A and B are shown apart, each in its own frame.
Chain A
Amino acid sequence: MNEVPKRSFVQRIHLKLIIWLGLFIGLVYWTASLTGVNLVMFFENFDQFTALLDKMARPDWSYTQLVINPILQTVQMALIGTTIGTLIAIPFSVLAARNIVKNPFIRTIIRFILNLVRTLPDLMLAALFVAIVGIGPIAGVFTLAVFSFGMISKLFYEAIETIDEGPLEALQATGANRSQVVIFAVIPQVFNYFISYFLYTFEINVRASTVLGYLGAGGIGVYLQRSLNEFAYDKTAIIILAILVVVLIIDTISNTMRERLL
């Protein structure tokens, strides 16, 4: 009796898969018509796009000199913002972790705050901080700090929730207090994840801060906006290239570091 069990008709034609595929296509069509996505228009106006590319293909290399400082400022903004956000995120993530804080009340409140912070769009935050501290990189730093805080604290507390709880129990049994349990049994287990998530957020922030410049929050974004307003696409090209180079460098550094750590 070594027969392979036969698949039923429904299993053979993968009925479920077909139904899901049909549903998916229907949904895409429906949302496209609802939001007014028009593919025809997209292709009709394609020549505009190529015209723009054409202008950008002749970058104004002399502009490179001027771009270096603002792009370094962008990197600095991202670094400081990410660092501030991370430092605040550490205690919050510990308090939000189910295996550390058994009290569901505290945890729920902390998580509610974190969710709230994460729902704030970063452009709105930037507008807000520009209004409070004025145009300039400080507004960008604050925006990135809040954004990093929201993102990192979630990544951190999820990392904390995956740790081996044995050492926590062992430390508690030696008479260590709560903070000592966290320092000696939790942090060593998640430290590498923390570094890795920090680098990841830093990468994202470098990219995000170019957009923030649009709202006057400092860095390269200000220059990007200016060049676009002046239709100086030869300068835009330089800025985009510069951003690309910096992002590539940071990606490479942080990827190699993360691979070493994990």
Chain B
Amino acid sequence: MVAENFIEFKDVGKVYPNGTVGLSHINLTIPKGQFLVVVGLSGSGKSTLMRTLNRMHDISSGDIMIDGQSIINYKGKQLRNLRRKIGMIFQNFNLVKRSSVQRNVLSGRVGYYSTWRSALGLFSQADKQKTVEALRRVGLGEKLYTRADQLSGGQQQRVAVARAFMQDPKIVLADEPVASLDPLTTDSVMNDLKKLNDDFGITVIVNLHSLELARKYADRIVGLRGGELVYDKTIDQVTDTDLDNIYQSEGPEPESEAIVMHSATEGVI
């Protein structure tokens, strides 16, 4: 049943070094090919949850399995091999602005090359061809040699999607990918992500603040509050009132927020 339990969070907890609780007792399984949207207030732990999957953050307790393998003790080469199969999209795109679009997209592939081959730019013909394909997929085929800082925000984010595509990812993580985009570009970026999901069965996890978008694209929505999973429903079961509840500050468990706030201030002192 690998397909059913592709990603498994098992009682995952995360406490930041300063004492802030990022996640607590997260239990979550994500099947292969799901388009999962994570919602929650600012500071509820959405980014933290996402970053534990590619180990940009380490967890404090529990276990995370991907494809039946625990990933929490991966190191060195093994960790890099995990990461190259997980694409990541950021709110502020994180392109190298002074480099060309081509080089930015190719940089999604360097995990597959030795340091020397990538340093000398010895990318295979197939991979160079793949850059063109990746850019065509996001409607930017003609921008290959443009410098990244000459693109609009929406275009930059679509280059970032192309960069993730270059990785041949099994999972794509998108942390508020459209937070700084206008509604029209928002749709094109969300569609790019949806296409990765539809065309290649890539599991996509997106953090969003917009409930409207969440309902439009998600197969399933989970909600976080104060580092805890407080909501989890497939899209056909989601109702408007449910979602409003997640975003209410006085929800069913007001204490959990208070605890987070409290430990945060403690950490500063």
Q: Number of residues in A with C-beta < 8 Å to the partner?
A: 21
Q: Number of residues in B with C-beta < 8 Å to the partner?
A: 33
Instruction: Say whether B115 contacts A179, CB under 8 Å.
Output: yes
Instruction: Say whether B167 contacts A175, CB under 8 Å.
Output: yes
Instruction: Say whether B96 contacts A175, CB under 8 Å.
Output: no
Contact residues in A for B119 (Cβ distance below 8 Å): 179-180, 183
Cβ-neighbour of B80 out of A176, A183, A185, A188 (below 8 A): A176
Cα(A172)–Cα(B93), bound, Å: 14
Instruction: Say whether B90 contacts A170, CB under 8 Å.
Output: yes
Contact residues in B for A179 (Cβ distance below 8 Å): 115, 119
Known A-B contacts A175-B83, A176-B80; A170 and B111 likewise in contact (beta carbons under 8 Å): no
A173 nearest in chain B by CB position: B88
Instruction: Say whether B90 contacts A171, CB under 8 Å.
Output: no
Report the minimal beta-carbon distance from B12 to chain A, rounded to whole angstroms: 19
Contact segment of A26-34, A149-157, A161-169, A250-258 = A161-169
Known A-B contacts A176-B107, A176-B111, A180-B110; A164 and B80 likewise in contact (beta carbons under 8 Å): no
Cβ-neighbour of A180 out of B95, B96, B118 (below 8 A): B118
Instruction: Say whether A167 contacts B118, CB under 8 Å.
Output: no
Instruction: Give 1 or 0 for each of B72-105: 1 = CB within 8 Å of chain A CB.
Output: 0000000011111111101011111111000100
Instruction: Say whether B88 contacts A191, CB under 8 Å.
Output: no
* B54, CB-defined interface residue at 8 Å: yes
A192 nearest in chain B by CB position: B98
B91 nearest in chain A by CB position: A166
Instruction: Say whether A184 contacts B90, CB under 8 Å.
Output: no
Report the minimal beta-carbon distance from B75 to chain A, rounded to whole angstroms: 12
* B163, CB-defined interface residue at 8 Å: yes
Cβ-neighbour of B110 out of A167, A169, A184, A188 (below 8 A): A184
Contact residues in B for A166 (Cβ distance below 8 Å): 90, 92-94
* B56, CB-defined interface residue at 8 Å: yes
A169 nearest in chain B by CB position: B94
Contact residues in A for B107 (Cβ distance below 8 Å): 170-171, 174, 176, 184-185
Report the minimal beta-carbon distance from A66 to chain B, rounded to whole angstroms: 46
* B108, CB-defined interface residue at 8 Å: yes
A178 nearest in chain B by CB position: B115
Q: Which of B237-268 contact A (CB under 8 A)?
A: none
Cβ-neighbour of B54 out of A173, A177, A183 (below 8 A): A173
Known A-B contacts A179-B115, A184-B118; A174 and B97 likewise in contact (beta carbons under 8 Å): no
Report the minimal beta-carbon distance from A260 to chain B, rounded to whole angstroms: 14
Cα(A185)–Cα(B93), bound, Å: 13
Known A-B contacts A166-B90, A184-B107; A173 and B98 likewise in contact (beta carbons under 8 Å): no
Instruction: Say whether A188 contacts B99, CB under 8 Å.
Output: yes
Cα(A166)–Cα(B87), bound, Å: 15
* A225, CB-defined interface residue at 8 Å: no
Known A-B contacts A173-B83, A180-B118; A164 and B97 likewise in contact (beta carbons under 8 Å): yes
Instruction: Say whether A184 contacts B96, CB under 8 Å.
Output: yes
Cα(A170)–Cα(B163), bound, Å: 10
Known A-B contacts A179-B119, A180-B118, A184-B107; A172 and B83 likewise in contact (beta carbons under 8 Å): yes
Report the minimal beta-carbon distance from B141 to chain A, rounded to whole angstroms: 22
Report the minimal beta-carbon distance from A258 to chain B, rounded to whole angstroms: 16
Instruction: Say whether A185 contacts B96, CB under 8 Å.
Output: yes
* A189, CB-defined interface residue at 8 Å: yes
Instruction: Say whether A167 contacts B56, CB under 8 Å.
Output: no
Instruction: Say whether B94 contacts A174, CB under 8 Å.
Output: no
Contact residues in B for A185 (Cβ distance below 8 Å): 96, 107
Report the minimal beta-carbon distance from A240 to chain B, rounded to whole angstroms: 41
Cα(A4)–Cα(B29), bound, Å: 64
Contact residues in A for B90 (Cβ distance below 8 Å): 166, 169-170
Report the minimal beta-carbon distance from A46 to chain B, rounded to whole angstroms: 54
Cβ-neighbour of A171 out of B54, B87, B92, B110 (below 8 A): B110
Instruction: Say whether A174 contacts B83, CB under 8 Å.
Output: yes
Instruction: Say whether B98 contacts A175, CB under 8 Å.
Output: no
Cβ-neighbour of B96 out of A172, A174, A188 (below 8 A): A188
List chain A positions with a Cβ less than 8 A from chain B: 164, 166-167, 169-177, 179-180, 183-185, 188-189, 191-192
20 contacts across the A-B interface (CB closer than 8 A): A164-B97, A166-B90, A167-B96, A170-B90, A170-B107, A172-B56, A173-B83, A174-B83, A175-B81, A175-B82, A175-B85, A175-B111, A176-B110, A176-B118, A180-B115, A180-B119, A184-B107, A184-B110, A188-B99, A189-B98
> Would you list the 7 A-B pairs with minimal beta carbon distance, nearest first?
A175-B111, A175-B84, A166-B94, A175-B83, A170-B94, A173-B88, A175-B80
